[in-house]
Amino acid sequence: MQLGVLIVYSAMLVGIGLFISKRVKGASDFLVAGRSLGPGLLSATFLAANIGAGSTVGATGIGYTSGLSAWWWVGSAGIGSLILANTVGPKIWEIANRYDLRTVGDYLELRYHRNVRLVVAVLLWFGTLAILAGQLIAVSWILGVVADVPKWEGCFIGGLVVTAYFAAGGLLTSAWVNLVQLIVKFAGFLVAVPLVLKAVGGWHGAGVSAIAASHPLGANYFSLTGIGLRGILSYAVILIPSFVISPGLIQKLYGARNARVVRIGVNVNALGLLAFAFVPAILGIVARSQFQLTNPELALPTVMARLLPPWLGLLALAAVFSAEISACDAILFMLSSSLSVDLYKRVLRPQADEQDVLRVGRISAIGGAVLGILIAIQLPSIVSALRLFYGLMSVALTAPLLAGLYLWVGAQRALTAIVVSLAATISIYLATHGVGVGIFDPYALGIACSAVIILVPVLRKA
């Protein structure tokens, strides 16, 4: 029954996507939804993209191992979204609207040089495939718990569903499908949390309370700061900048009607993330009290399948499935727009018309999904995939993108910052086996390196 419901639900999402795709007439509709999104659709498509594998299955796995301090995984994304909504977002929307920009690559070429655009595009292609793989791994865990589906089959099914509706209509299709997914997500999780707690005797039930006596963190397992300053910084440094400068999110906000819609829509998304951050942490703690799991990332689907009444378990599993699929379409959007505009239109065929760009965007989405499936089959976990993507993106883009909006920095300086900071990050990672120096992990040190390269000449002039 659980598998049957997920199949019917997937078919419904594809059907909605194909119906909305009839309104897609050209590349502008596919890439930026014709700049027609209001605050409701913008906040829905942001939240749907941000509450994905990392925010549900991955964060619940962190809650299983680290307790309430798993809040910082999703909470950091909410903090980054607040910054995006009130600083970078409206400013970059104004520029995008004025110059008809469709990708972050468009902005980087306008502000710096074509070479900066190409270097960042190549980095994003690799990083985007890693994060897509993370979402597909989550789908495979869900289907594995529900129907004992092998990992490779689960990855294939998830990739097939999201590609079917996204390739048809791009951002315009995704925005409407995301609205449906968001309703299912919040309905499922809002009902699931109190009933899961009730099933184990509440927050102070015997099973939950016993964790403090046996867990290495002790009572800190139930503290927001249980993982310590270093642990909190490791999430904050990677995730806060990522949700300020994420190409996928910035390209979504290009679809807003105006800068006011950006502020409202992205702020609503931020508040939603800050509140939702408690959900996977609590569910992870409950899973720890009831199940001995060899893979912590199975905590969420296991709780949904075993601790809830059958009817509610179906809704909850649909909510989790929605989370992973909606994040997948955001990633395919980032990949297809970069390949169709940054590479095809700007480098390979500058004379390409709107229909050519639309066709290449759809082909790119299908090709990206295939590669993402293959990588997902090989990667061991969701969090390992997401940390790779968020880390590379934060190191490469944070300083150049923000400096481009607020300071005058030349193209050569931006390129130097990208290349040197990435090299420094990789070197520190290898030299310290990923530990970093002191309380700072390799990604934090890489971002600092990039900022120094960008800011030193500016400070000298001042």
Evaluated on CA atoms 274, 72, 104, 161, the torsion sign reads: negative
Q: What is the pLDDT of residue 69?
A: 93
Instruction: Write the burial class of residue 353 (CB in 10 Å: 0-12 exposed, 13-18 middle, 19+ buried).
Output: exposed
What per-residue confidence (pLDDT) applies to 460?
Answer: 67
> Mean pLDDT over residues 170-177, rounded?
61
Highest mean pLDDT: which range of 174-183, 322-331, 345-354: 345-354
Backbone angles phi, psi at 414, to 5 degrees: -65, -45
pLDDT of residue 189: 79
- For residues 406 and 455, give the distance between their C-alpha atoms in angstroms, rounded to a whole number: 11
Which of 24-38, 76-90, 185-199, 341-355 shows the highest mean pLDDT?
76-90
Give CA–CA dist 245/121, Å, rounded: 14
352, 247, 303: which is closest to 60 by C-alpha? 303
The confidence band for 70, taking pLDDT boundaries of 50, 70 and 90, is: very high
Q: Residue 354: which region, alpha, beta or left (left: phi > 0; alpha: psi -120 to 50)?
A: alpha
* Of 209-223, 322-336, 357-371, 442-456, the least confident: 322-336
pLDDT > 90 in the chain, percent: 18
**Where in the chain are the domains?**
2-384, 407-462
77 band by pLDDT with thresholds 50, 70 and 90: very high
Q: How far is CA 189 from CA 152, 193, 194, 279, 322, in A?
A: 27, 6, 9, 8, 11
Give the mean model confidence (pLDDT) for residues 300-311. 80
3-state secondary structure the chain: CHHHHHHHHHHHHHHHHHHHHHHCCCHHHHHHHHHCECHHHHHHHHHHHHCCCHHHHHHHHHHHHHHHHHHHHHHHHHHHHHHHHHHHHHHHHHHHHHHCCCCHHHHHHHHCCHHHHHHHHHHHHHHHHHHHHHHHHHHHHHHHHHHCCCHHHHHHHHHHHHHHHHHHHHHHHHHHHHHHHHHHHHHHHHHHHHHHHHHCCCCCCHHHHCHHHHCCCHHHHHCCCCCHHHHHHHHHHHHHHHHHHCHHHHHHHCCECCHHHHHHHHHHHHHHHHHHCHHHHHHHHHHHHHCCCCCHHHHHHHHHHHCCCHHHHHHHHHHHHHHHHHHHHHHHHHHHHHHHHHHHHHHHCCCCCHHHHHHHHHHHHHHHHHHHHHHHHHCCCHHHHHHHHHHHHHHHHHHHHHHHHHCCCCHHHHHHHHHHHHHHHHHHHHHHCCCCECCECHHHHHHHHHHHHHHHHHHHHC
Residue 170 in this model has a pLDDT that exceeds 60: no
User: Lowest mean pLDDT: which of 30-34, 332-336, 435-439?
Assistant: 30-34
What percent of the chain stands above pLDDT 70? 79
Tell me what the mean pLDDT of segment 333-343 comes to: 75
Say if residues 340 and 356 touch (Cβ distance below 8 Å). no
pLDDT category, 364, cuts 50, 70, 90? confident
Q: What is the mean pLDDT of residues 28-54?
A: 75
Name the least confident of 139-148, 162-171, 386-395: 162-171
- Name residue 280's amino acid: P
* Residues in CB range of 221: below 8 A, 6 or more apart: 66, 67, 68, 211, 212, 215, 285
35-52: average pLDDT: 82
pLDDT value of position 218: 72
The pLDDT mean for the chain works out to 80
Quote the tokens at residue 45: 């498509």
Q: Whole-angstrom Cα distance, residue 25 to residue 49?
A: 24
In Å, what is the CA distance from 232 to each residue of 79, 111, 254? 13, 34, 31
By residue count, the chain amounts to 462
Q: Given a cut of 80, is residue 399 above it in pLDDT?
A: yes
- Report the pLDDT averaged over residues 158-179: 64
Contact residues for 18 (Cβ-Cβ < 8 A; gap 6+): 164, 165, 168, 169
- pLDDT for residue 386: 66
Res 17: pLDDT: 65
For domain 2-384, give the CATH superfamily: Sodium/glucose cotransporter (1.20.1730.10)
Residue 325 is predicted with a pLDDT of 67
Range 144-162 average pLDDT: 75
Q: What is the pLDDT of residue 301?
A: 81
- Among 348, 351, 354, 347, which Cα is nearest to 102's? 354
CA torsion sign for 443, 447, 448, 452 is positive
| pLDDT for the residue 281 | 93
* C-beta contacts of 434-439 below 8 A and 24+ residues apart: 439/229, 439/230, 439/233
pLDDT, tens digit (0-9, with 9 covering 90-100), for 214-257 = 667 777 888 898 888 888 998 898 889 989 988 878 888 888 89
> Between 352 and 259, where is the model more confident?
259
Count the Cβ atoms, other than its own, within 10 Å of residue 198.
Answer: 11
